[in-house]
């Protein structure tokens, strides 16, 4: 089925596969932001779903020299204050949790920057004089994560929290690497030579669980998001070594035949003890859970491996959607939820 181009076109009418393949271009997007570096004691990033994923990625690369927290809530941490860099990010610009969090940040006199494609966030930023970066519109938030990452890294650059030349060049190199990597997973590449199609076939009909180490947890979380939203398929994720302190035991009992598929993202750049935990856990859980599909990220740098893992998961989820017989682009149930919440 996955090699039948007519089936792919019928089930992916908005060409989500093409959008995925072109995501590398988002890392080349240029933003103009006018803020002056000021002393920052901490950074709080408010966002939900795909809009928060750029912040998760930033914890792996470029990482931080000051305390950092992601706020996925209506309420913000009590410590937010005048020396907080508060970033409110929503692709639509209308995410109610993020809008509520930004209002509180203003009350606590934080330094506010907004990232959005439009909506209320941009309107408020213009009205209040907050610095903002406007993302290109017209796509689903989960397909705009690299726009958000580039925009957020630009915020960090302008705030004097990363070295501009190094970050810009690293993102450019990663974009070119990602462009080449994605060629191996295009719809035109047959299943026999296409890792994304092969993994999707293994996941079909099952609840998917994705595990990773802490550095690659943003990729595991993106796999979860995409399998949920693109394939309309239940999935969850966790990371080592937290997994070994609770969920590990959950695999030890019934049912014997578990309707799950396990994917593990194992990078040689994770802490050595994390790598050993993967190996020991697989041995101890042999026969108690499905044998994991081990994904070994390609790339010479941490960012390259992270983005490679992200993009592979995008393609896997889209091929799983096609196998599930669903259009990967719309998220109708989310739209119904928004309407119902406002009734």
pLDDT tens-digit readout, 103-121: 999 999 999 999 999 999 9
Q: Does 63 have pLDDT greater than 90?
A: no
Q: Does 165 have pLDDT greater than 80?
A: no
pLDDT tens-digit readout, 69-103: 999 999 999 999 999 999 999 999 999 999 999 99
The predicted pLDDT at position 71 comes to 97
The predicted pLDDT at position 53 comes to 94
The predicted pLDDT at position 37 comes to 76
Beta strands in 62-194 (DSSP E): 68-71, 84-89, 111-116, 132-134
Low-confidence winner among 144-148, 256-260, 294-298, 336-340 (lowest mean pLDDT): 256-260
CATH architecture of the domain with range 183-324:
3-Layer(aba) Sandwich (3.40)
Of 118 and 63, the structure prediction assigns the larger pLDDT to 118
Domain 38-159 and domain 183-324, same fold? Reply is yes
The predicted pLDDT at position 35 comes to 82
The predicted pLDDT at position 167 comes to 85
Q: Does 256 have pLDDT greater than 80?
A: no
Q: Does 34 have pLDDT greater than 90?
A: no
The predicted pLDDT at position 163 comes to 67
Cβ count within 10 A of residue 40? 17
Chain centroid to Cα 79, Å, comes to 27
pLDDT tens-digit readout, 215-225: 999 999 999 99
Q: pLDDT grade, residue 168 (50/70/90)? A: confident
- Crossing angle for the helix pair 49-60 and 145-158, nearest 10 degrees? 50
Burial class (CB in 10 A: 0-12, 13-18, 19+), 256: exposed
The predicted pLDDT at position 164 comes to 62
Q: Which two tokens stand for residue 278?
A: 């993967």
| DSSP secondary structure letter of residue 61 | T
Domain spans in the chain, listed from the N-terminal domain onward? 38-159, 183-324
The predicted pLDDT at position 339 comes to 87
User: What percent of the chain stands above pLDDT 70?
Assistant: 98
CA within 13 Å, CB half, 180: 8
State the fold for domain 38-159: Rossmann fold (3.40.50)
């Amino acid at each position: 089925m996955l090699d039948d181009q007519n089936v792919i076109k019928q089930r992916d009418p908005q060409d989500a596969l093409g959008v995925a393949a072109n995501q590398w271009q988002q890392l080349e997007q240029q933003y103009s932001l006018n803020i002056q570096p000021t002393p920052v004691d901490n950074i709080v990033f408010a966002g939900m779903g795909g809009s928060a994923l750029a912040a998760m990625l930033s914890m792996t690369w470029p990482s931080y020299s000051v305390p950092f927290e992601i706020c996925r809530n209506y309420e913000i941490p009590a410590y937010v204050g005048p020396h907080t860099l508060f970033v409110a990010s929503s692709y639509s610009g209308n995410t109610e949790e993020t809008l509520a969090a930004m209002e509180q940040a203003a009350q606590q006199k934080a330094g506010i920057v907004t990232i959005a494609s439009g909506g209320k966030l941009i309107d408020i930023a213009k009205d209040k004089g907050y610095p903002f970066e406007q993302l290109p519109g017209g796509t689903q938030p989960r397909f705009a994560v690299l726009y958000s990452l580039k925009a957020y890294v630009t915020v960090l650059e302008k705030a004097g929290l990363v070295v501009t030349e190094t970050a810009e060049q690293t993102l450019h190199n990663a974009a070119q690497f990602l462009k080449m990597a994605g060629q191996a997973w295009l719809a035109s590449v047959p299943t026999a030579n296409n890792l994304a199609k092969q993994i999707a076939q293994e996941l079909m009909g099952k609840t998917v669980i994705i595990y990773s180490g802490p550095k690659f947890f943003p990729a595991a979380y993106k796999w979860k998001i995409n399998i949920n939203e693109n394939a309309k398929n239940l999935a969850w994720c966790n990371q080592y070594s937290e997994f070994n302190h609770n969920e590990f035991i959950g695999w030890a009992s019934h049912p014997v035949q578990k309707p799950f598929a396990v994917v593990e993202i194992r990078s040689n750049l994770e802490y050595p003890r994390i790598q050993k935990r993967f190996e020991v856990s697989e041995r101890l859980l042999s026969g108690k859970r499905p044998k994991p599909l081990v994904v070994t990220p390609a790339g010479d740098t941490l960012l390259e491996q992270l983005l490679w893992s992200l993009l592979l998961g995008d393609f896997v989820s889209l091929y799983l959607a096609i196998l599930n017989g669903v259009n990967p682009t719309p998220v109708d149930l989310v739209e119904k939820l928004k309407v119902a919440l406002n009734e």
